[in-house]
Structure 1
Amino acid sequence: MRISQLDGRRVALWGWGREGRAAYHALRSRLPRSALTLFCSVEEAADARGLGDPLLAIETMASAERLAAFEFVIKSPGISPYRAEAQAAAGQGTRFLGGTALWFGEHPDARTVCVTGTKGKSTTTSLLAHLLRAGGHRTALAGNIGLPLLEALDPQPMPEFWAIELSSYQTGDVGASGARPEVAVALNLYPEHLDWHGSQARYVEDKLRLLTEAKPRIAVLNANDAVLAGLRLPDSEIRWFGDGRGWHLRGDALWRGEREIMDTAGLPLPGRHNRGNLCAVLTAIEALGLDAAPLAPAAASFRPLPNRLQPIGRRDGIDYVNDSISTTPHATLAALEVYAGRRIAVLVGGHDRGLDWQAFADAMRRQAPVAIVTMGQNGPRIHELLAPIAAQSDVRLSAARDLGEAMQQARAALGAEGGVILLSPGAPSYGPYKDYVARGRHFAELAGFDPEAISAIAGLGIA
């Protein structure tokens, strides 16, 4: 859908975070004289009123009745369309769209590579942009990674390629736009965001909408993911990564089919899963019609993203690692694998979305770190699950009221021998923090480092 098609229609915005503000400015740039209504919180309303826009009505109660009064509601990604009021309004004909759908509607012919997956999508998207730029291609890095697409509505000149990260909140918007991505990359699927989607089955369904509904020209899929390996996409060409048919790893060596390309052990990509994502990136580059092999060595100059297995420094014999973006138990297990063989105190817990931590507990029976500190809303539930394991092993299990106390307990558990304090919560930050970035910044501050110095995402935007 083009923004111009909203002219003269009853249109509302729902949400006033960065995505909501981007949607407002995009609509205003195209429709300067259209009346709009904004649904937002009381705190956000004061900021919106500061715009001084006489054609913007502001309401702080998004009821089903009020939402149903509009033909189109442009909602922020964090607002679930499965909420009762949204479902009721949709039943009366209201159409809910996200900013991603509006951007694709404006740029149907853009050369886009859309990346999704439960874990690794930010690093993969950023690495994709890095390698394309290393090959001399003007490339945009945008989307869920930190730059809403609508903030890049009219770049001049247009990039040759768009590397776009999409969360499960946004994947459905691509198909809804009527546009067709050139390439879509799916890395993996684990239980995630169940509070937003309502069930694991719906999460998988929504995640796969980037493939099943948007119908990319080429789908780049992980051959080692059970769900993706069984996928059939009659409208897309499928290219696999992770096995001998294409880009894959043999130990630390990177191979293209039967051709060995390079050693990946020294790359700034912590963990085998991240080096595996390099295979996804190279497959996507080939899907664009480019020669990927000469670009692979440029991964050596990649700058790892903040909050993703980010080493932030060493103090008093302790290495501090910020993996605040970890929001699933699977991500925490992957982080622990990276530091296997080290003395680790891991900090877990946060907002409780009802995810099952049993697989994590089972893994702790086989190979537990020196210490596990639970915290946050689901901390007590995780602690209860791990208590029988701790009673039969040497792992030190403790519970903390907040991140500051968790850090104190982790330091005490490592003692004079030192080791690694790993913040890999396996849960969102909602509650005490605005987002995972704020949680990571607080972790850096508590460790005695400058939070400003760890926060910048290299390469965001167009270059």
Structure 2
Amino acid sequence: MTRDVTALGRRDSWEGVRVVVAGFGASGAAAVDNLLHLGADVHALAEAASPAILERAALLEVLGARIDIHEKATATLPDDVDLVVVSPGFRPDSPLLEAGRRRGVPVWGEVELAWRLRDPDRPAPWLCVTGTNGKTTTVQMLDSILRAAGLRSVAAGNVGLPLTEAVMDPEPYDVIAVELSSFQLHYTDTMAAESAAVLNVAEDHLDWYAGPSGMDDYARDKGRIYERVERACVYNVADPVTEQLVRDADVAEGARAIGFTLGVPSVGMLGVVDDILVDRAFIEQRHDSAAELCTTAELASAAPHFVANALAAAALARAHGISRSAVREGLMAFRPDGHRIAVVAERNGVTWVDDSKATNPHAAASSLAAYEPVVWVAGGLAKGARFDDLVRQVGSRLRAVVLIGRDRRVIADALSRHAPDVPVIEVDSGETGPVVGEHSGDLMRRVVAAAAGVAQPGDTVLLAPGCASMDQFTDYAARGDAFAAAVEEAIAQQ
């Protein structure tokens, strides 16, 4: 008989509760560890066995977990299960989850588990961020601001620390900056963020959200972040979908809708006036004035999407009661992770920029909007996305395009339809699978040589692939590293 787990929390006895944890990445392993700590009977399932996974498995087996790692481990749901905690990569129609639904077994994500395990005496508020692009940068900016204000903060969720680890820390955090993907939100039902932001909604993960309603389902999952929000729902004025998601949400009484814009803000918004980021939402005189937060020159980048991220982070911080001086200090101190609009080199009037993190068309479009003229390096796994809107938007900025990867023809076809005069160079890896090590270096050497052959003084050669990397590289970081190494090698040989 299945035990009712819906009321279980941090202070309850989990002894005898039978939990299956599906997926054994960082969040899955954290869920196993903390469920064992609570006394649950935990059975973890994973299909892949990397060295890191095997190391985690060995430790957690010593602590009492049962762990199965093989190709078909997640094909079926074991008998006698009270709860399934699922990693975000599992689609809702996977056989394991279908079996759980048929049996009436609750399915939680690690985020949902973490929310239920918060310390009831000191439940750190969550400031949550989602969006197709910019989530990680915004959450890290927010964490920097919170720390500048003297708070014990951490970036957690889809970036940084797994949320179960964050909430179970023996020394509770003052506040948690939480990045959430649509996949994580799909399996979250009771979370009530203090404040939350949806940065943007654009085509992505349409391989996961299959079918004619895929984009609507994707947007709906993003909008779940606003449900039960207590203070502020932060939305992007330039993206009407995000505002509509706020309108559709069931929020706590008194919660405010706060917009952010790259233009002059209206009352209740944050925006930009003469290259100054300003607050017209959290000041008493907001009806006839705005308060300065910082200047665009004080940020690590003045690229429009970077400034938008800063405004969203500032809005969440200000909703939490953070001073304007701490917002400025935190934003000035922040530097983005590698492979995000990172200047690799400048030589002979050409700037080489690595934005390998731009793994979908919306991210690539944001990156391209920051430069002109551009030699664009693009391609990889499109994940069902289309590029027509992107090319229509940025086609006039393009000097030339260098294409790589399995789905490069998707981009080439969009270019032929909407920017037929832009030269396109396709670089075939000559490999049938991922190119690693020396082979990835050879590929990027040819990419850099092709780009150098068409770039002119004043141009930016921009790696903003608009696609995932796994067809040719281990991940987006490996792709960016290979690009940077090839650029540096080419310059050294000049």
TM class, shorter-length? 0.7 to 0.9
CA shift, 1:225, in A, is 1.9
The answer for the alignment partner of 1:322 in structure 2 is: 354
Residue number among 101, 110, 116 corresponding to 1:99 in the alignment: 110
TM-score under structure 1 length normalisation: 0.85
The answer for the alignment partner of 1:291 in structure 2 is: 323
Deviation digits for residues 419-463 of structure 1 (CA, Å, limit 9, x no counterpart): 4221111112233333323322333333338xxxxxxxxxxxxxx
CA shift, 1:280, in A, is 1.8
In 1, are the aligned partners of 2:199 and 2:236 still within 8 Å (CA)? yes
The answer for the alignment partner of 1:349 in structure 2 is: 379
Q: Which runs of 5+ in 1 are unaligned?
A: 450-463
Q: Which deviates the most, 87-96 or 320-329?
A: 87-96
Q: Which runs of 5+ in 2 are unaligned?
A: 1-7, 281-288, 430-442, 490-494
The answer for the alignment partner of 2:259 in structure 1 is: 241
Distance in 2 between the 1:104 and 1:427 partners?
32
> 1:6-405 maps to which residues of 2 (within 5 A)?
6-31=14-39, 34-41=41-48, 47=55, 50-51=58-59, 52-53=61-62, 55-60=65-70, 61-62=72-73, 65-66=76-77, 70-107=81-118, 109-174=123-188, 176=189, 178-198=190-210, 199-212=214-227, 214-230=228-244, 231-232=246-247, 233-236=249-252, 237-242=255-260, 243-245=265-267, 246-257=269-280, 258-261=289-292, 262-292=294-324, 295-314=327-346, 318-340=350-372, 342=373, 344-365=374-395, 367-389=396-418, 392-393=420-421, 395-402=422-429, 403-404=443-444, 405=446
Would the alpha carbon gap of residues 7 and 373 (structure 1) be closer, same or farther in structure 2, given more than 3 Å must change? farther
Distance in 1 between the 2:127 and 2:311 partners?
15
SS of residue matched to 2:323: coil
Distance in 2 between the 1:27 and 1:311 partners?
44
What RMSD, in angstroms, separates the aligned Cα atoms of the two structures?
2.7
SS of residue matched to 2:251: coil
Would the alpha carbon gap of residues 49 and 141 (structure 1) be closer, same or farther in structure 2, given more than 3 Å must change? closer
Would the alpha carbon gap of residues 407 and 146 (structure 1) be closer, same or farther in structure 2, given more than 3 Å must change? farther
Distance in 2 between the 1:155 and 1:252 partners?
40
CA shift, 1:126, in A, is 0.9
CA shift, 1:201, in A, is 0.9
Would the alpha carbon gap of residues 35 and 220 (structure 1) be closer, same or farther in structure 2, given more than 3 Å must change? closer
Deviation digits for residues 330-370 of structure 1 (CA, Å, limit 9, x no counterpart): 21111111112x4x2211111131112110222244x1321
Distance in 2 between the 1:67 and 1:326 partners?
39
- Count residues in correspondence: 439
Letter paired with 1:229: E
The answer for the alignment partner of 2:434 in structure 1 is: none
CA shift, 1:235, in A, is 2.3
CA shift, 1:47, in A, is 4.9
The answer for the alignment partner of 1:406 in structure 2 is: 447
In 2, are the aligned partners of 1:186 and 1:222 still within 8 Å (CA)? yes
Distance in 2 between the 1:336 and 1:277 partners?
16
Aligned-pair identity (%): 28
The answer for the alignment partner of 2:482 in structure 1 is: 442
Distance in 2 between the 1:49 and 1:188 partners?
37
SS of residue matched to 1:158: coil
Would the alpha carbon gap of residues 441 and 91 (structure 1) be closer, same or farther in structure 2, given more than 3 Å must change? farther
TM-score under structure 2 length normalisation: 0.80
Distance in 2 between the 1:283 and 1:89 partners?
40
Distance in 2 between the 1:406 and 1:145 partners?
30
SS of residue matched to 2:369: helix
The answer for the alignment partner of 1:460 in structure 2 is: none
